[in-house]
């Protein structure tokens, strides 16, 4: 059995010159006795969803007030230089 592609195309894949299509990859793997299995996982972005869920329970006023307090706390404790005040 042969893959329905050319030897030169396979050579380009082997030399990492081109990335095969999913269908070509599926066929090549099939010829090697393997099945291609694709999947999708939720990206781990490091975001704590519970924080956002908690914020969404608050009103917009409460969110903005809390945000201001939090930012002021960061400013008070940051070693970074301060810009001019009014």
Partner 1 sequence: MTETRSLPAKAPEADKLLGPLLAHGVDFVLIGGQAGISHGSSYPSYDLDVLYARDRDNVVRLVAALEEIGVRLRGAPKDPPFVLDARSIENGANFTFITPYGDFDVLADAAGMPSYAELKSAAVEQEAFGHLIKVASIDHLIAMKRAAGRTKDKLMVEEYIVIADEQKRLGKANE
**What residues line the site for partner 1 (CB under 8 A)?**
43, 45-49, 51-53, 55-56, 58-61, 63-64, 66-72, 74-75, 78, 80-86
Task: Give the residue with the Cβ less far from partner 1, 33 or 79.
Answer: 79
Nearest distance from residue 52's CB to partner 1, in Å?
5
Task: Give the residue with the Cβ less far from partner 1, 7 or 78.
Answer: 78
Half-sphere exposure of 39 (CA within 13 A, CB side): 4
The dihedral built from the CA positions of residue 63, 65, 69 and 72, taken in this order, carries a sign that is positive
Token couple for 75: 């400013």
Nearest distance from residue 60's CB to partner 1, in Å?
4
Nearest distance from residue 41's CB to partner 1, in Å?
15
Instruction: Measure Cα distances from 77 to 7, 12, 64, 65 in Å.
Output: 64, 56, 20, 19
Task: Give the residue with the Cβ less far from partner 1, 8 or 61.
Answer: 61
């Amino acid at each position: 059995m042969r893959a329905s592609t050319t030897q030169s195309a396979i050579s380009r894949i082997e030399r990492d010159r081109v990335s095969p299509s999913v269908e070509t990859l599926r066929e090549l793997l099939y010829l090697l006795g393997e099945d291609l299995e694709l999947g999708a996982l939720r990206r781990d972005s490091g975001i704590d969803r519970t924080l956002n869920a908690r914020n969404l329970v608050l009103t917009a006023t409460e969110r903005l007030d809390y945000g201001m307090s939090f930012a002021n706390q960061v400013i008070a404790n940051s070693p970074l230089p301060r810009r001019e005040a009014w």
